[in-house]
Amino acid sequence: MSKDHARTVLITGAAGGLGRAFAAGFADKGDRIAVADINLDGARETAAQLAASGAEVAAFQVDVTSRESTDALAADVAEFGGGTIDVVVNNAAIYATVTRSPLEDIDPDEWDLVMGVNLKGPWLVTRAVSPHLAENARIINLSSATVMSGSAQWAHYVASKGGVIALTRVMAKELGARGITVNAVAPGFTLTEASLNLMEDAATYGVDRGSIKRASQPEDIVGATLFLASPEAGYITGQTLVVDGGRQFL
């Protein structure tokens, strides 16, 4: 893809993990990448890695729980993209640091924090970028396969990611008249740095429950996201694509 026809792709939570993998995947397609994270140093590191491979990329700091911050991000990314934004990947989330507790013991402040980042964040980012979205833009929201099965002592995280699926459906209804598609990707347990630090047996966790007997790699989630952002997925909207190696079926 030539630079004149490159899409502008905004990825939140891009300082590492899946966000960094998404950024690399879209850059490989020739897209112009806006990497955003509350961790500006991490976003800049991602941007430097992509730039070293020849990508057109810029790093931005954003607090996805803040209206002012997301409004500023949207304006800055639209300027970077020449006026419009073509793809948004709402990936920013709190995950590895979420405390596992019985529902009656969850700290209400932590509940609010998880909901603020994981659910309010995609709404605020999408709200902010909406005026700048190109015709036939693509929005991909990151949910989680744990919504389909539940996960004990993780009520706030699971509820926040379930809310992402509901929000995705509403967004699809509201933005569809503009030719914009909105879908969710729900990964299973994936071997990112955060996941590997959660447990000693991360590399084999849940593999026996899957139809495909191997651990999920970031590239598995990237491929699904690239598809939903592609022209070939232009008639798919409001859907949730579970990417978990066949551990569960909808």
CA angle 88, 137, 4 (to 5 degrees): 95
Question: Which backbone phi and psi does 172 adopt, to 5 degrees?
Answer: -60, -40
Cβ atoms of 121 and 92 within 8 Å: the answer is yes
Cβ atoms of 14 and 91 within 8 Å: the answer is yes
Can you tell me the distance from the alpha carbon of 182 to that of 130, in angstroms, rounded to the nearest whole number?
12
No. of helices (H) and no. of strands (E), the chain: 9, 7
Residues 6+ positions from 200 with CB-CB distance below 8 Å: none
Cβ atoms of 60 and 52 within 8 Å: the answer is no
Query: Is 205 considered catalytic here?
Result: no
Residue with structure tokens 């990611």?
Answer: 161
Per-residue tokens: 84: 């419009």
Q: Is 233 helix (H, G, I), strand (E, B) or coil?
A: helix
- Among residues 95, 157, 205, 235, the one annotated as catalytic is 157
Can you tell me the distance from the alpha carbon of 42 to that of 37, in angstroms, rounded to the nearest whole number?
8
Which residue numbers are catalytic?
157
